[in-house]
């Protein structure tokens, strides 16, 4: 029997409903539009793909298409925030984090403006769009910026909560979401607090600390390790990459003595690095990092790419066994 906490819909081997996290982004924006007249949305000619067209249809006077001009879009959002609006800038993560990084850094973060950024098409699961559209570096680019909060939700319900949480707080926020439909593993009642991780599975042999769409493979890996090897592995969902839940990570290091991180992003300077920064300062233990290993993405089907890039449960299981062996 699974040891997942009760607020999850997760049950190993069960069929899961699936939904893209970008749908959660679009639906939450519409909900916010009805609740708060100060919420406005901007897009860079990708409204259909980012799902901001749903807000556009409901509130045409509060939607602005900046065209393929990401730098201008972020500056316009900065201006809107200055007159009391809560702007959401929306486009592909690779474009907004790459092309508009200077504007995010100097215009928005330096002056701590209340601008929210939706970064779509995170990770390799974009699939056939290939390396130019697969955002694999934006967590690193965003988390290094002072005043920036970085959210990486695990599924559709968590993405909706992330958008609402971003609107409710002051200051810059980056929200990462994807294109492909992924399993829904949380519920509307699942806790979501910025800066707080959640233990999704208890265990004391090792910890898998995952973010975004890698939470589900982490849970699968833990269940298979229990069934095949008798290992009891803790799984932690970290939806807030910055500020990261250092206390929860330290507790996992002390109580399990081995940590594997899992992310659909470059391991270099990414989520795994953020976890390692906590571990090395508070309680060093053996670690392994599942993610993109210093290479660009490729075109292909999402499941094929997950295999090529080593993001499957079997890859996580191998890493867990290595960390457990290293602590003995």
Residue pLDDT, tens place only, 284-310: 999 999 999 999 999 999 999 999 999
- Residue pair 172/117 in contact (Cβ under 8 Å)? The answer is yes
Task: Report CA-CA distances (Å) from 123 to 4, 36, 101, 117, 316.
Answer: 26, 31, 18, 17, 17
Q: Which two tokens stand for residue 184?
A: 């829904």
Q: Is the pLDDT of residue 220 over 90?
A: yes
pLDDT > 90 in the chain, percent: 93
Residues 173 and 289 in one domain: no
pLDDT, position 2: 45
Query: Is 227 within the bounds of a domain?
Result: yes
Map tokens 């056939």 to a residue.
Answer: 128
> Which of 125, 149, 183 delimits the end of a domain?
183
Least Cα distance to 103 among 63, 150, 69 occurs for 69
10 located within any domain: no
Q: Tens digits of per-residue pLDDT, 247-271?
A: 999 999 999 999 999 999 999 999 9
Residue 15 confidence class, pLDDT cut points 50, 70, 90: confident
The SS3 assignment for 297 reads: coil
Q: Kindly report the CATH number assigned to the domain that includes residue 140.
A: 3.40.50.970
pLDDT at 7 over 90: no
The whole-model pTM stands at 0.96
For residue 4, pLDDT beyond 70: no
Task: List the catalytic residues.
Answer: 70
Q: What is the pLDDT of residue 8?
A: 66
| pLDDT in the model for residue 178 | 96
The answer to whether residue 9 is domain-embedded is: no
For the cut 70, the answer to whether the pLDDT of residue 233 exceeds it is: yes
11 pLDDT band (50/70/90 cuts)? low
- Distance CA(285)–CA(277), nearest Å, equals 12
My answer on whether 172 and 249 are in the same domain is: no
Tell me, yes or no, whether 268 lies in a domain.
yes
Per-residue pLDDT band for 168 (boundaries 50, 70, 90) equals very high
CA dist 74 and 155 (Å) reads 26
pLDDT over 50 (residue 1): no
Percentage of the chain exceeding pLDDT 70: 96
Pairing of strands 149-151, 240-242: antiparallel
CATH number at 275 reads: 3.40.50.920
pLDDT 10s digits, 202-218: 999 999 999 999 999 99
Domain span including residue 202:
198-326
Residues 179 and 235 in one domain: no
Here the tokens at position 296 are 């660009």
pLDDT at 231 over 50: yes
Q: Are residues 57 and 171 in the same domain?
A: yes
**Whether residues 24 and 73 fall in one domain:** yes
In the block, tokens 């391991």 appear at: 267
pLDDT at 44 over 60: yes
Strand 181-183 to 173-176 pairing:
unpaired
Query: Mean of the pLDDT values across residues 96-121?
Result: 98
Q: How confident is the model at residue 177 (pLDDT cuts 50, 70, 90)?
A: very high
What is the model's pLDDT at position 21? 98
- Total domains in the chain come to 2
Mean pLDDT of the chain: 95
Lookup: tokens for 107: 């215009």
Q: What is the pLDDT of residue 12?
A: 60
Domain boundary residue among 183, 210, 239? 183
* Three-state secondary-structure class, residue 4: strand
């Amino acid at each position: 029997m699974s040891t997942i906490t009760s607020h999850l819909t997760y049950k190993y081997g069960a069929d899961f409903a699936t939904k893209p996290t970008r749908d959660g982004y679009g639906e939450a924006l519409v909900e916010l539009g009805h609740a708060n007249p100060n919420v406005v949305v901007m897009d860079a000619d990708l409204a259909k793909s980012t799902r901001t067209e749903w807000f556009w249809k409901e509130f045409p006077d509060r939607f602005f298409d900046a065209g393929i001009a990401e730098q201008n879009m972020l500056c316009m959002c900065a201006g809107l925030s200055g007159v009391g609006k809560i702007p959401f800038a929306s486009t592909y993560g690779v474009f907004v984090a790459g092309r508009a990084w200077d504007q995010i850094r100097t215009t928005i973060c330096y002056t701590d403006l209340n601008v929210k950024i939706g970064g779509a098409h995170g990770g390799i699961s974009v699939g056939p769009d290939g390396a130019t559209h697969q955002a694999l570096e934006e967590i690193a680019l965003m988390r290094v910026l002072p005043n920036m909060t970085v959210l990486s939700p695990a599924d559709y319900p968590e993405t909706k909560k992330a958008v609402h949480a971003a609107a409710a707080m002051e200051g810059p926020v980056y929200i990462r979401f994807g294109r492909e439909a992924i399993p829904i593993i949380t519920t509307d009642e699942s806790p979501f607090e910025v800066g707080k991780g959640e233990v999704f599975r208890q265990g004391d042999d090792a910890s898998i600390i995952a973010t975004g769409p890698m939470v589900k493979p982490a849970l699968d890996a833990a269940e298979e390790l229990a069934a095949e090897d008798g290992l009891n592995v803790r799984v932690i969902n970290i939806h807030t990459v910055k500020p990261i839940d250092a206390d929860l990570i330290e507790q996992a290091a002390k109580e399990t003595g081995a940590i594997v991180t899992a992310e659909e992003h470059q391991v270099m300077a990414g989520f795994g690095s953020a976890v390692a920064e906590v571990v090395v300062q508070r309680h060093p233990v053996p670690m392994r990092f599942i993610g993109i290993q210093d290479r660009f993405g490729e075109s292909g089907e999402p499941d094929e790419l997950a295999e090529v890039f080593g993001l499957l449960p079997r890859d996580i299981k191998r890493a867990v066994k290595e960390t457990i062996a290293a602590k003995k």
